[in-house]
Amino acid sequence: MRRIITFLVTHGVAVALGLALGIYLLPILTAPSSPDAAMLEQKAGSALFKAELTRELRGSDFLHWGEGTISVSADDIVHEGKLAPGPDYMVYLTSEFVEDEAEFEAIKSKATLVGPVKTFGGFLLNVPDGVDVSNYNTVFVWCESFGEFITAVKYR
């Protein structure tokens, strides 16, 4: 009986660890190539607003972070830097700066979805038609699957 319990515990731990690693590594393995750095730099050159991402936010931790520069123009949002890898990231524009899950959940219904992020070494997203970036002040990256804060930056 003791062998059966030991077998179930050790194999259960192995399965749980494998599942956790799979959830973490799958987005990295299936991610498309990041946009070309020269193209990101060119698009960032026409930005109306620029801001630096930091890992020093209340909602950031060793699995959820962003660093680099966010450039916002009337047509594009450009990220030059790195994001912690993960599944189902979405970029939102908000009218107030928030830096953790609870704060974002409180205003999510007023936030404007810009689009999905599939790369972790910089991204380029088109601002949706009819969205005026000057009506907002924050770019917010959110993991829809797990309801996790990734990063945010106040650009004006």
Question: If the chain, 156 residues long, is cut into consecutive pieces of 10 residues, what is the mean pLDDT of each piece?
Answer: 86 86 67 75 88 94 94 96 92 96 96 95 95 97 94 96
Q: Do residue 80 and residue 124 come from a single domain?
A: yes
pTM of the predicted model over 0.85: no
Q: Do residue 9 and residue 84 come from a single domain?
A: no
Structural domain harbouring 1: 1-30
Q: Do residue 47 and residue 63 come from a single domain?
A: yes
* Cβ pair 99, 81 in contact under 8 A: no
Residue ranges in the chain assigned as alpha helix (H): 2-30, 37-44, 101-107
Q: Do residue 41 and residue 25 come from a single domain?
A: no
Domain tally, the chain: 2
